[in-house]
Amino acid sequence: ESEVWTLLRLFFFNILLLHTCSASPPNFVLLFADDLGFGDLGCYGHPSSLTPNLDRLAEDGLRFTDFYCTSPVCSPSRASLLTGRYQTRSGVYPGVLYPGSKGGLPLNETTIAEVLKPLGYATAAMGKWHLGVGANGTFLPTKQGFDHYLGIPYSHDMGPCHNLTCFPPDVKCFGNCDVGVVTVPLMHNEVIKQQPVNFLDLERAYSDFATDFITASAKKKQPFFLYYPSHHTHYPQYAGPGAAGRTLRGPFGDALLELDNTIGQLMITLEKTGVIGNTLVLFTSDNGPELMRMSRGGNAGPMRCGKGTTYEGGMREPAIAYWKGTIGPGVTHEMASTLDILPTIASLAGAKLPPVMLDGVDMTDILLNQGQSKREAMMFYPTDPNEMFGLFALRLGKYKAHFYTRGASHSGTIPDPDCSPIAALKAHDPPLLFDLEADPSEHYPLPSEGDPDLEAVLERIKKIKEQFESSMVFGESQISKGTDRDLEPCCNPTCSPKPSCCHC
């Protein structure tokens, strides 16, 4: 009888083993909002935002309170997200890329999509790329490991918008956006489908694209990676009929609701295709709110200043990790970053890390076990990093030291004078030191001089800064390569006069 039991046990053990080994690697959905602040989502305390789908992901998943992007503006932040490296290494600085930029994220950088490709993943990106277009689409997502792409390859204000419709039935976009360049195109892979893009129909197009991609991958039992850097809630706000006029927060709230609706649609598709239990969904944002837009911009909650600054409001972001049946509900105060997403995805998929200097650390233990972060420190570079100034700030544990501070036009219009562009570059020696647990708003610098404990903290911060900076090799600036009008995407390349004739 005992032999029978042994055989049976062996049999079941083998089945279990077989099952474990043949379980397909997880799918990844990476959602990236634009200029969305720490205080903008309902689940982060905003009283009049309507974000039921994101709130549900936060409630059933893991919500981060101490999650950082790497730059207070778009392009550098995206470069770090996709490579797990500070933007200074890849050269995506200073500021952001333009429609006619000659540079882009260098093709020898390894993106998350390229990390997953060798394992047989299907990969797609939709939305705001903003890592370059270049001559003949040199830098488009399809050149960086993504099988499919649908989207506007840069910010949707980087083209004249005063004649475009942002809300139904025909409410024109607020402001002029960038004049003197081509109107913003909608690209499918490397081809322009629409110019200018139809904002009212854009989110539906993304939803359909995502549904098709997920459904096709699930049908083939192929693991997939979907990257959705949304245009929402960057200026100018827009929303189609499903969200326009439906919130108490005006154009910003409607745009945010539209993003939330798309995420809801995505979750339904994951559910319907039966892959929801094998899919990690991550959500965060590229940088802090653009406070200069006032009610049409985002909200940093209790964090100081916003976009363009290295205060918490510029770089601390809402972040949610959801994985049905695998990530338990909770809130984590562990320090984590967009840099950590590439190593985490690689670890969960069993993929090889790229053979380069990575700045990200694996945060699997935070996700799966609410464990501790392997991240010791977070570095804060300004919009225009250079080797002479180096880091503007460094966070170690609960302490953050500012070596330099500066306001930004993106964060103007609020009463705090340190946030506005009038606040010129200021060096701090000793550095301004804050305890972010007691004072997340960075209002009360700690008097470190004469306090041995705080002096020891500062010493340690300085040592980490020195070590980090001595290992930092600045990549050639891609953005300083400048622009060329002929590189602006035009649906009718031989037409004249440009840019107004680029209209199809």
Ligand X SMILES: *[C@@H]1O[C@H](CO)[C@@H](O)[C@H](O)[C@H]1NC(C)=O
Name the residues that contact ligand X, by CB under 6 A: 106, 108-109, 135-136, 160, 163, 356
3-state secondary structure labels for all residues of 287-344: CCCCHHHHHHCCCCCCCCCCCCCCCHHHHEEEEEEECCCCCCCEEEEEEEEHHHHHHH
Q: Which two tokens stand for residue 5?
A: 């039991």
Residue 307 beta carbon to ligand X: minimum distance, rounded to whole angstroms: 27
Closest Cα partner for 222 from 433, 460, 28? 28
Tally of CB atoms within 10 A around 20: 8
Nearer to ligand X, 117 or 402 (CB): 117
Residue 464 to residue 44: CA distance in whole angstroms:
31
Closer to ligand X by CB, 22 or 136: give it. 136
Catalytic residue among 43, 46, 69, 130: 130
9/503 with CB nearer ligand X: 503
Element (H, E) at 212: helix 199-219
Instruction: Please name which of 407, 409, 401, 404 lies closest in space to residue 424, comparing C-alpha atoms.
Output: 407
Q: What is the phi-psi region of residue 73: left when phi exceeds 0, alpha when psi lies from -120 to 50, beta otherwise?
A: beta
Q: How far, in Å, are 62, 186, 464 from residue 369 at the CA level?
A: 10, 41, 28
The reply to whether 74 belongs to the active site is yes
* Residue among 285, 287, 303 nearest 73 (CA): 287
Query: Which lies closer to ligand X via its Cβ, residue 301 or residue 343?
Result: 343
Q: Which one from 43, 69, 74, 177 is the annotated catalytic residue?
A: 74
Is 161 or 300 the residue whose CB approaches ligand X more closely?
161
> ∠ CA 28-358-141 to the nearest 5 degrees?
50
| Radius of gyration, alpha carbons of the chain | 23
Indicate the residue type of 407: G
Assess contact for 192 and 491: CB atoms under 8 A.
Answer: yes
For residues 212 and 220, the answer to whether their CB atoms sit within 8 Å is no
Q: How far is the CB of 109 from ligand X (least distance, A)?
A: 5
CB of 88 to ligand X, least distance (A): 12
What tokens appear for 80 in the block? 């770090």
**Which C-beta is closer to ligand X: that of 109 or that of 114?**
109
Q: How far is the CB of 126 from ligand X (least distance, A)?
A: 25
Q: Sign of the C-alpha dihedral, residues 146, 147, 149, 153?
A: positive
Q: Quote the least distance from Cβ 253 to ligand X, whole Å.
A: 28
CB of 135 to ligand X, least distance (A): 4
Q: Give the shortest CB-133-to-ligand X separation in angstroms.
A: 11
**Residue with Cβ nearer ligand X (368 or 501):** 501
- Is 130 known to be catalytic? yes
Which residues are marked as active site? Answer: 74, 130
